[in-house]
Amino acid sequence: MTLATDKLTTAKLNKFEKFKAEKDGLLVKDELEEFARIGWEAIDATDREQRLKWLGVFFRPVTPGKFMLRMRLPNGILSSDRMRILAEIVQRYGDDGSADITTRQNLQLRGIRIEDIPDIFRRLQAAQMTSVQSGMDNVRNITGSPVAGIDADELIDTRPLVKQVQDRITNSGEGNFAYTNLPRKFNIAIAGGKDNSVHAEINDIAFVPAYKNGEIGFNVLVGGFFSAKRCEAAIPLNAWVTPADVADLSEAILSVYRDNGSRANRQKSRLMWLIDEWGLEKFRAEVEREFGRSLVEAAEEDEIAWEKRDHIGVHAQKQPGMYYVGLHVPVGRLQAPQMFELARLAQVYGSGEIRLTVEQNAIVPNVPETRLEAFLGEPLLEQFAIAPAELSRSLVSCTGAQFCNFALIETKNRAVALVKELEAELEIPRSVRIHWTGCPNSCGQPQVADIGLMGTKARKDGKVVEGVDLYMGGKVGKDAALGKCVEKSIPCEDLKSKLHDILVEQFGATPKAHL
């Protein structure tokens, strides 16, 4: 790896760069048996709290000794067999064990004990699953269209492309030292349909379907990101690539970023800061150099023409007589019995496959028409509805204070309870996308929501209380645009009446007759 750049040798390195330079995070892979033997308390603090994240193993200061395991699920797809393996892993931990569908179409497992990690990793490897490089200064789960290959209007099947990019970056799940020391985290998304189901605009690299001279390929966006200090939508690189070039271009951009991104101030290390420093022209030229060829100019228009779909409910597939069924999983939280049941339903009624969405929901594809009625009568669908109420339907929430030490507020439980109260009071004529995020890191993407709520501290009656900053106006799908903060520090206790008024005044809600 070529890390001996000017940036590395001359800049003042931040503390993360120092520990990475001392020992690459991926190296703890060879120490897992030892960690399991000595127990979590005896592991070197930097290995335990930082380097293990290179393997997707997250120490949780909120629940010490009970780790979180962040998987990689390319394109958000897994088989029933794989879901069952993950269910068995969390089931072992009783009340501590659960899983969350994430805003990157992924699963995080909770309650994991370090002594079980070697065995868990053996089971994952046998099932060709991996959690490698899913945290810290690595490329996160790569997102793709959740209805790839089954969407009648799809332009490009993203599944093989997402898999190819993941395999390159992770050396097919073994870990790839070429990309384990990026200046910061990095997000890649590949859109294959007309509705921008991956939130292309908030990724460091996004591939968006576009025709050039009658050929389907992708326009490329770069530099989208959220951070506590700054949020930016991705900008056009002015490049168009064929599907065959997606992996090469991803590696070229990553290499330019790895070798030139700032390693001094972690608040200014994401890709967009490098683009700002160089200007787009120089950045594009450096990417071309690394790519080894000239980049073709972007197609004039991309093919994102639709509002974003949420995929909930029953939908005809492009395969005649087949349907996919989108299940609403409240704020993405799954308990082991629900994971087993989801795996069973996908196998009994579908093709043994489950898909996840960035809205933290699940899809069971390939259900034949003849099996639909029986499927829809299954008890799990009482918990994971196919026609949830309008606010619940689009509710998204980050992890929040239950497990995340960055959190300024509790999110998931509060989010569910609040929309239930509002739904009891109001008739809401359309879906309203409400996103909660527990702190300014924005994992719950409040900037893409109709109503975004970001955890903060507020004052009420002279006391410091849990509160939120209110974001409004996020637009998704065609012409996506980020929402803006419109009001700061609303105490959570005042939030219900605030949202009630907003729903009535701006979203056409009306009080229910019985109230």
Query: Which residues are near ligand SRM by CB under 6 A?
Result: 58, 60, 68, 70, 100, 102-104, 106, 108, 134, 140-141, 184-185, 187, 202, 225-228, 270, 398-399, 403-406, 441-443, 445
Q: Taking CB under 6 A as the rule, does residue 443 contact ligand SF4? A: yes
Residue 437 contact among ligand SF4, ligand SRM, none, beta carbon within 5 to 8 Å by kind:
ligand SF4
Token readout for 237 is: 């690189």
Phi, psi of 440 (to 5 degrees): -65, -5
Query: Which stretches within 92-185 are classed as H helix?
Result: 117-126, 159-170
Number of residues that bind ligand SF4 (CB under 6 A): 13
Contact between 438 and ligand SF4 by CB under 6 A: the answer reads yes
413 touches ligand SF4 by CB under 6 A: no
Question: Is 70 a catalytic site residue?
Answer: yes
CB burial class (10 A; 0-12, 13-18, 19+) of residue 249?
A: buried
409: helix, strand or coil: coil
C-alpha radius of gyration, the chain, whole number: 22
**What is d(CA 1, CA 10) in angstroms, rounded to the nearest whole number?**
18
Using rule CB under 6 A, residue 491 touches ligand SF4? no
Does position 437 bind ligand SF4 by CB under 6 A? yes
Biggest alpha carbon distance in the chain? 70
Known active-site residue 66: no
Looking at the Cβ atoms of 315 and 414, the one nearer to ligand SRM is: 414
The amino acid sitting at 108 is Q
Choice between 203 and 366, CB closer to ligand SRM: 203
Nearer to ligand SF4, 61 or 429 (CB): 61
- Beta carbon nearer to ligand SF4, 80 or 447: 447
Tokens of 366: 């390939």
Catalytic residue among 223, 224, 444, 474: 444
Q: Where are the beta strands (DSSP E) in 85-234?
A: 98-101, 107-112, 143-144, 188-190, 205-212, 215-222, 225-226, 231-232
Closest separation in Å from C-beta 321 to ligand SF4: 41
- Find the shortest distance in angstroms from Cβ 355 to ligand SF4: 23
Show the binding pattern over residues 357-396: x = contacts ligand SF4 (CB under 6 A), - = does not.
Answer: ----------------------------------------
User: Of 7, 20, 66, 184, which residue is the catalytic one?
Assistant: 184
The answer to the question of residue 489 lying near ligand SF4 (CB under 6 A) is: no
Q: Which helix (H) or strand (E) holds 393?
A: helix 390-393
> Pick from ligand SRM, ligand SF4, none: which does 141 bind, CB < 5 to 8 A by kind?
ligand SRM
CB of 174 to ligand SF4, least distance (A): 28
The Cα–Cα gap between 166 and 170 comes to: 6
The backbone torsions φ and ψ at residue 249, rounded to the nearest 5 degrees and listed phi first, read -70, -40
Task: Write down the least CB distance from residue 11 to ligand SF4, Å.
Answer: 26
Q: Which of 173, 164, 90 is nearest to 126 (CA)?
A: 173
Q: How many CB atoms lie within 10 A of CB 514?
A: 6
Q: Which residues contact 258 (CB under 8 A, 6 or more apart)?
A: 1, 3, 179, 181, 182, 183
What's 104's DSSP letter?
Answer: T
Question: Taking CB positions, which residue lies at the least distance from ligand SF4?
Answer: 438
| Whether 485 is catalytic | no
* 185 is annotated as an active-site residue: yes
336-349 and 80-91 helices cross at what angle (nearest 10)?
160
443, 452, 455, 474: which is the annotated catalytic residue? 443
Judged by beta carbon, residue 26 or residue 99, the one nearer ligand SRM is: 99
Look at residue 81 and give its three-state secondary structure. helix
With 0-12 CB in 10 A as exposed, 13-18 as middle and 19+ as buried, what is 385?
middle
Residue 460 site contact among ligand SRM, ligand SF4, none (CB < 5 to 8 Å, cut-off depends on kind): none
Find all residues with CB under 8 Å of 145, minimum gap 6, and list them. Answer: 75, 151, 154, 158, 190, 191, 192, 193, 197, 198
CB closer to ligand SRM out of 48 and 184:
184
Which candidate, 225, 254, 249, 251, places its Cα nearest to that of 238?
A: 249
The yes-or-no answer on residue 192 being catalytic is: no
CB nearer to ligand SF4: pick between 228 and 417: 228
User: Taking CB under 6 A as the rule, does residue 107 contact ligand SF4?
Assistant: no
Is 399 near ligand SF4 (CB under 6 A)?
yes
Residues in region 29-58 near ligand SF4 by CB under 6 A: none
- Partner touching 333 among ligand SF4, ligand SRM, none, CB below 5 to 8 Å by kind: none
392 binds, among ligand SF4, ligand SRM, none (CB under 5 to 8 A by kind): none
For residue 71, give the nearest of 193, 166, 151, 196 by alpha carbon.
166
400 part of the interface to ligand SF4, by CB under 6 A: yes
3-state secondary structure of 400: helix
Q: Mind telling me the catalytic residues? A: 70, 184-185, 438, 443-444
**Interface residues with ligand SF4 (CB under 6 A)?**
398-400, 404, 406-407, 437-439, 441-444
